[in-house]
């Protein structure tokens, strides 16, 4: 199984809502990533987990809260978001972090988030 799955595909939420994005992979990868991508822009790294521990936080606002319950799952909890947070949220995984630069990253299809 060489697939990264993400749910939901689309999410519309108000600024006071709490929601979660989910990501799953069964390739035995030990590094998992959250990216945010705005239209016509490249993916921007948000968080990196290595062996279920948060390794990199790219100064993301606290209204985004990542969680890695086990080696196959990655969640992104959302609370009190702003309209400018509307974007495509991509999850990715790779074999491990130390070799991230020469291991390909496998991306999920993304969750299209709209904040009203």
Chain positions contacting other proteins, by CB under 8 A: 4, 41-43, 45, 48, 55-56, 88, 90, 92, 97-98, 100-102, 104-110, 112
Q: Shortest approach of other proteins to residue 11 CB, angstroms?
A: 14
> 45, 33 in Cβ contact below 8 A?
yes
Q: Shortest approach of other proteins to residue 71 CB, angstroms?
A: 18
Q: Which is nearer to other proteins, 81 or 97 (CB)?
A: 97
Distance CA 108, CA 10 (A): 13
> 34, 46 in Cβ contact below 8 A?
yes
> 65, 57 in Cβ contact below 8 A?
no
Q: Which is nearer to other proteins, 78 or 97 (CB)?
A: 97
Q: Which is nearer to other proteins, 45 or 73 (CB)?
A: 45
Q: Shortest approach of other proteins to residue 54 CB, angstroms?
A: 13
Q: Which is nearer to other proteins, 43 or 66 (CB)?
A: 43
Distance CA 103, CA 2 (A): 14
Query: SS3 for 107?
Result: strand
């Amino acid at each position: 199984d060489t697939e990264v799955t993400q749910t939901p595909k689309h999410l519309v939420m108000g600024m006071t809502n709490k929601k979660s994005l989910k990501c799953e992979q069964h390739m035995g990868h030990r590094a998992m990533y959250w990216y945010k991508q705005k239209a016509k822009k490249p993916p921007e790294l948000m968080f990196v987990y290595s062996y279920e521990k948060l390794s990199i936080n790219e100064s993301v606002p606290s209204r985004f809260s990542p969680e890695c319950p086990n080696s196959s799952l990655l969640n992104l909890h959302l609370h009190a978001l702003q309209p400018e947070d509307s974007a495509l949220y991509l999850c990715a995984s790779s074999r491990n972090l130390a070799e991230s630069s020469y291991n390909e990253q496998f991306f999920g299809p993304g969750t299209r988030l709209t904040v009203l």
